[in-house]
Amino acid sequence: MRLPLSLLLVAVFSSIIAAAFQGQSNVVLVVFEDQVMLKTHSRFVDSLKAIGKTVEVKQANSESFDLRADGEYVYDSIVLLCPTATKMERKLSLDSLVRFVDAGHNLFVAAGHGYSDYTSKVASSIGVDLDYKRNKMTDHQQPFQSLDDGSHTIIRAGGLVQSKYLFGDENIKASDIVFSGPGATLFTDNELIDKVMWGSGSCYSTDDSRRPLSKIPRVAGAASVLAAALSTRTESRASYFGSIDTLSNDAFDKAGKKHEKALTSFLAWTVGHAGVLRTRNLVHSSIDDSGSLANEFRVKDTIKFSIDVQEWDGGKGVWSPYVADDMQVEFVMLDPWVRERLHYSGNENGTYTATIPVPDQIGVYKFNIQYFRPGLSPIVLMKVVPVRPYLHNEYERFIGMASPYYASSFSMLIGVFLLGLVILYGNKGEDGEHAKAD
């Protein structure tokens, strides 16, 4: 009776472990404003299916958004394509969204002209400060001609982060991307969010592009954020894009393949398809034969440090080696005492190695890797190790430089011995003569 029970337990545990390794869920929740958008933005959402995600579509006026079932999150990611939807707060509260992201899940939020307070709050919770809802980014120098109605509010982006992880291709130019919507800035108190797409030098925000400006625009030029990406400390991601209108099938047709590829790649990046790094097998050992203990080093040792850095290959569904030449490891005691480049060894585990000379200073050190690159999940890694002084039996027994001191000590010893002999036995006769003389 007991054996089958334990077998059952083993089966249950192994399935739980397997589920944990594969990620809890592969389902993406996409929230649309209404039935119409389901059709007009189908290609953007279908790109998620192409990368193997299961898409669950809901409308903003749905009755409920249960993110959890049986205490676990049902969804892997949430895509909010409902910038003007109101009354969302009660169904999908900001608090629950923040907790969803904190728990390691991903969020994509799109804004648009006339966005709701809810969208503004979601954006500000990830560090994006939206411009006034009536404003639109305007660019009279380089509007997107084939969609322009004369208002010059459909603009081309002025710059973006050149990253194959974020936008699928390093060669995508900012002017390939078409934008229509409010500008934004980033809150300065969130150090994890990066602007990944920004306006050209001639763009600015205004509520009426046909009239000349009467006051200083709140957002203008390259400081205007069109898209932003947040990599959290829990290895989840949150992205913002300010233009729901140019995510439509119609805009994809008119703006071209590069526009479509960049924005669908940005969505794929958000749901964790590209640029996910992980580290494995942190190993450090002393090259010198100093240590009986593995996790302890002696001053002036040389440490061989190695770590595997792997990148999630969404296309094949495997972890492949991450290849870069700009990673470094620090050996820190308050300040970095040693900073060494990590060299890729070329093997299939993505092993990086570095040789670290331990300084001549005892104390508690730590290995420290801080690797932040746009489009890549951050690597923050610390490992504490003590550095001890030489043990008493690790010094040389005799030191050449001290030989005069050895010689002098022994000559004193011998001298005292000889003088003792002379005083006791050697000079009786002479003493006697002097005594007589006295």
Partner 1 sequence: MSSPSPLHTQTQSSSGSIVHDVFHAYRLNVPASLQVIDAFLCYVLATGIIQLIYAMSVGSFPFNSFLAGFLSCVGVFVLTVSLRMQLSERNLKDPNNRWQGLSKKRAVADWLFCNFILHMAVLNFLG
How far is it, in rounded angstroms, from Cα 404 to Cα 76?
76
Task: Report, in Å, the least distance between residue 427 CB and partner 1.
Answer: 4
Size of the site for partner 1 (CB under 8 A): 24
DSSP states of 53-90: PEEEEEETT-S----EETTEES-SEEEEE-TT--SHHH
Binding residue for partner 1, selected from 6, 211, 401, 436, defined by CB under 8 A: 401
> Among 42-50, 273-281, 293-301, 401-409, which window interacts with partner 1 (CB under 8 A)?
401-409
> Among 138-146, 192-200, 319-327, 413-421, which window interacts with partner 1 (CB under 8 A)?
413-421
Closest CA to 153 of 138, 133, 131, 135: 138
Judged by CB under 8 A, does residue 415 bind partner 1? yes
Numbers of helices and strands, H then E, in the chain:
11, 26
Three-state DSSP string of 142-175? CECHHHCCCCCCCEECCEECCCHHHHCCCCCCHH
Judged by CB under 8 A, does residue 380 bind partner 1? no
Judged by CB under 8 A, does residue 412 bind partner 1? yes
Task: Report, in Å, the least distance between residue 416 CB and partner 1.
Answer: 5
**Nearer of residues 293 and 391 to partner 1, judged by Cβ:** 391
Q: Using CA atoms in the order 347, 349, 354, 355, what is the torsion angle rounded to 10 degrees?
A: -80
Judged by CB under 8 A, does residue 23 bind partner 1? no
Judged by CB under 8 A, does residue 416 bind partner 1? yes
**Nearer of residues 17 and 399 to partner 1, judged by Cβ:** 399
Say if CB 80 and CB 109 are below 8 A apart: yes
Task: Report, in Å, the least distance between residue 398 CB and partner 1.
Answer: 9
Binding residue for partner 1, selected from 90, 333, 404, 436, defined by CB under 8 A: 404
How far is it, in rounded angstroms, from Cα 171 to Cα 12?
47
How far is it, in rounded angstroms, from Cα 267 to Cα 282?
32
Report the alpha-carbon angle 180-185-189, nearest 5: 150
Judged by CB under 8 A, does residue 431 bind partner 1? yes
Element (H or E) spanning 46, and its range?
helix 42-50
**Nearer of residues 7 and 422 to partner 1, judged by Cβ:** 422
> Among 41-49, 62-70, 237-245, 410-418, which window interacts with partner 1 (CB under 8 A)?
410-418
Judged by CB under 8 A, does residue 390 bind partner 1? no
Judged by CB under 8 A, does residue 213 bind partner 1? no
**Nearer of residues 389 and 415 to partner 1, judged by Cβ:** 415
Residue written as token pair 């006295």:
438
Judged by CB under 8 A, does residue 423 bind partner 1? yes
Element (H or E) spanning 337, and its range?
strand 335-341
Judged by CB under 8 A, does residue 389 bind partner 1? no
Burial of 379 (0-12, 13-18, 19+ CB in 10 A): middle
How far from 45 is each of 72, 92, 273, 349, 394, CA to CA, in Å?
Answer: 24, 20, 14, 34, 67
Judged by CB under 8 A, does residue 399 bind partner 1? yes
Judged by CB under 8 A, does residue 391 bind partner 1? no
Query: Which amino acid is it at 69?
Result: A
Name the pairing type of β-strands 178-179 and 155-156.
Answer: antiparallel
Judged by CB under 8 A, does residue 421 bind partner 1? no
> Among 70-78, 149-157, 200-208, 416-424, which window interacts with partner 1 (CB under 8 A)?
416-424
Task: Report, in Å, the least distance between residue 368 CB and partner 1.
Answer: 34
**Nearer of residues 3 and 401 to partner 1, judged by Cβ:** 401
Task: Report, in Å, the least distance between residue 357 CB and partner 1.
Answer: 21
Binding residue for partner 1, selected from 211, 233, 430, 436, defined by CB under 8 A: 430
Judged by CB under 8 A, does residue 394 bind partner 1? no
Side-chain-facing half-sphere of 90: CA atoms under 13 Å: 5
Task: Report, in Å, the least distance between residue 414 CB and partner 1.
Answer: 10
Judged by CB under 8 A, does residue 424 bind partner 1? yes
Report residue 359 CA to chain centroid gap: 29
Site residues, partner 1 (CB under 8 A): 399, 401-402, 404-406, 408-409, 411-413, 415-416, 419-420, 422-424, 426-427, 430-431, 434, 438
